[in-house]
Chain A
Amino acid sequence: MSYGPAPWVQRHWDLRAAANFVFGGIGSGVIVFASLAGARGTPAALALVAGLALVGAGLFSVWLEIGRPFRAIRVFTNPRTSWMSREAYVAIALAAMALVAAWMHRAEAPAATVAGALAALVALAFVYCQGRMLNAAKGIPAWRSPATAGLIVTTSLAEGAGAWWLVAAAHAQGTRGALALLGVLLVARLLAWLAYRRTIAGAPRAAAALAPAGWALAVAGTLAPLVLLAVAATMSVEAWVLGLSAAAGALALAGGAWFKIALILRGAYNQGFAVPHMPVRGART
């Protein structure tokens, strides 16, 4: 047994910060997926704007959390080393690119797809920044894992795909290819989670705290939607296909979002303290 100030869950970042990762991830994912799914025209424009709005909501949420919100502009001052600064710059770029691409899609401009792809690349960079932001937090073993960035990126893409499908299916916009892509992303996310999980085995408290969300991610957020997608793939009635796809998208989205909230709020045990050698007091007996 060992009693002392064991690691405890960090309280510096709360749901407001978690919302940044959730909304930012979904928003970026939507933008990326819209591009990958080959969306065009108004649906693509809507996806870009909605994705951007989600990213904005996330950033607004975290703005509510910072202690000195009116100094927020200073967040741009350290892109040299800070992934938070980089995230901020990328967010600006993303806003510009997404709005341009959305306008071009709305206007059905010939290069809209290229603009959308560029926006998707910037969105990818945005979630990568988010992943690296967590990864750079050395004080939190569950975040500083080398697999964190990969997990954050894949789950964001899967969440975005899920969200895209949720909306797209409702508007009967989906394609079988996009459906398969969702499946691929879900598998990728599952693999990223499994890889990540191995890296946090040395942080048992965090691993235990994340286990329920991990199971939820694997079962409700991955296996269940994959089954739904598989069933949907065998269906010929479009309404059934769309309905099942929407359900799969919702599960993919919810599983990822739930996991990220857990990652920020529950699995975020700090490093605690370590005394590798107990002191020798007077004599070594």
Chain B
Amino acid sequence: MTRWAMIADLRRCVGCQTCTAACKHANATPPGVQWRRVLDVEVGDYPDVKRAFVPVGCQHCDDPPCMHVCPTTATRKRADGIVTIDYDLCIGCAYCAVACPYQARYKTERATFAYGAPAAHETKRHDPDRIAVATKCTFCVERIDAGLAAGMTPGVDPEATPACVNACIAQALTFGDLDDPASNVSTLLEGNRHFRMHSELGTGPGFYYLWDGAGPDGGVPALRKLVEQAMELA
């Protein structure tokens, strides 16, 4: 089986918004709609303050509340974990949007463009089917499907990888198959401390946040393990 998942390494993310911009390009989302968004979070009181940049978006949950509430079955979950929306079925009731604990869903009531009237590139990519219905991050599902069909590996081959991951300039975002113990995402999760947002709600997000190395001093245990093994051998 395959379970596509995304990892955001909060130690790496600098809030540059490149993923957000790349997502907007790849998916031609209208102004204000950010399927991939990066938050600027500050915690503490001066001078003991911490600030972090947190990529958010659809978490492609194991048990997506948005899917359960959808009255039309427009929102579905694929066997590979990707939560999809069929724009032709959606009635735009926005029930999914209020059901999503990650504020990941958007509904654009009318066609909007960067400067009012549509520019050439906006005209080229405007999709009336996406007006007045729910939209959200798709994990760039069409890239994944096309890539798989072409024999590529999502998360490894750029053509088959979500645009935000391709764009990330800090290697903060990683995409891959959670069910493959040797995959990039599995390796990262094994080697680092991580959490899933609002895990108490039982949604089972397919989006993980790394915040520290797994070893007692942080760092990369896999590397440490290698060093230890090398020393034992010596």
Contact = CB atoms under 8 A, between A and B. Distances in A.
A138 B99 contact: yes
A78 interface: yes
A23 interface: no
Interface stretch (A39-47, A81-89, A106-114, A237-245): A81-89
Interface in A1-60: 1-5, 10, 12-13
A276 B213 CA distance: 16
Contacts of A280: 11, 211-213, 218
B97 A12 contact: yes
Given A67-B133, A277-B195, A1 B91 contact: no
Contact of A66 (B13, B92, B201): B92
Interface in B85-104: 89-95, 97-103
Contacts of B195: 276-277
B132 interface: yes
A139 interface: yes
B182 interface: no
B41 interface: yes
Interface in B77-129: 89-95, 97-103, 107, 109
Contact of A279 (B10, B56, B73, B101): B10
A77 B71 contact: yes
Interface in A262-279: 268, 270-279
B69 A273 contact: no
A272 B197 CA distance: 10
A136 B91 contact: no
Choose among A2, A3, A67, A270 the residue with the greatest number of B CB atoms under 10 Å from its CB.
Answer: A67
A112 to B, nearest CB: 33
A3 B52 contact: no
Contact of A138 (B10, B65, B73, B109): B65
Interface residues of A, number: 50
Interface centre among B90, B103, B107 (most CB of A within 10 A): B103
A68 B184 CA distance: 41
A143 interface: yes
A125 B211 CA distance: 47
Nearest to B210: A279
Contact of B94 (A67, A136, A278, A279): A67
**Interface size, B (range):** 35 or more
B92 to A, nearest CB: 2
Nearest to B46: A1
B122 to A, nearest CB: 20
A3 B44 CA distance: 8
B39 A273 contact: yes
Q: Identify the interface centre among B65, B101, B102: most chain A CB within 10 Å of its CB.
A: B101
Given A3-B42, A283-B218, A81 B68 contact: yes
A137 B95 contact: yes
A88 B52 contact: no
B71 A136 contact: no
A74 B89 contact: yes
Interface string A129-152: 000010011111001000000000
Given A139-B98, A276-B195, 16 more contacts: A1-B42, A1-B45, A3-B43, A12-B107, A62-B93, A67-B94, A67-B107, A72-B91, A77-B89, A81-B69, A133-B95, A137-B98, A139-B101, A275-B197, A279-B13, A279-B210
The 3 closest A-B pairs by CB, nearest first: A67-B92, A67-B132, A4-B41
13 contacts: A1-B45, A5-B40, A10-B97, A67-B90, A67-B107, A69-B91, A72-B91, A75-B93, A139-B98, A139-B101, A271-B102, A278-B10, A278-B52
